[in-house]
Structure 1
Amino acid sequence: MTPQHHPAQPAGTGLTRERLSDHTVIAVSGALDSASTPFLRERLHVALRDPGMYVIIDLSGVTSCDASGLAMLVGARRRMEANGTPLTLARPRPRTARLLRSTGLLHAFSGRPRVGPARATGPDPRSAAA
């Protein structure tokens, strides 16, 4: 049996999952770039199991994003869409929101509901991404 290689966690990068009553909130932090996406993609795949009625990816902790980060988000959306589970991006910082808007990806994800009780202290996601 061949041992599996797991990408190392880049400094400052993380992913947490919180399963609420009817949905899952996944908070991503750090840079979404070619150095971090192998690690985050693997963690995101695990976090998307048993998602509930919909999934929210909280981007408020994302400091920067490049094409590999965008590809990771699109891949997550496709996996969820195949299962009939809506995936929403919430609370992107202004720079990430501009990137999503300029690439047309902001419209590829479903509406931007509030993140949920555990993350409700931040700004309304609609204000940052609209």
Structure 2
Amino acid sequence: MSRATLFNSPLLLGFDQLERALDRMNKSTGDGYPPYNVEQIDDGHLRITLAVAGFSEAELSVQIENNQLVIRGRQEPESEDRVFLHRGIAARQFQRAFVLADGIEVESARLDNGLLHIDLRRPIEEPVVRRIDIERSGTGSKALT
């Protein structure tokens, strides 16, 4: 079933935000740099780890923008007196974005041995059951249940 067909179903009400999030996610797929892992620590915690070798804490930024976790890296230009015989370590800027579900919170970000770890907390929601009273037609009073 295509996505357009799925979200036009009369059984799915109020999922327009999810559709927009999927569109943002589709547009943000990049070239794969920097490589990253997403791991589930336990039922309520996730960790995103990006390989950012060569970047200092000052050259990295982690922000939340419109329910997206956006990580940017920008290195300062190197001095021109360096001569490389081979340059295999990437020294380019990047932006990596992750769409966050409602309720996901960023707990911390830390740089350790060239890896940027971002810890997220996903609250475990209890199922909510609520009874809706049915009113009688035309009288405005509630039906006996």
Same fold (TM over 0.5): no
Structure with the largest fraction of helix: 1
Q: TM-score, normalised by structure 1?
A: 0.30
Structure with the largest fraction of strand: 2
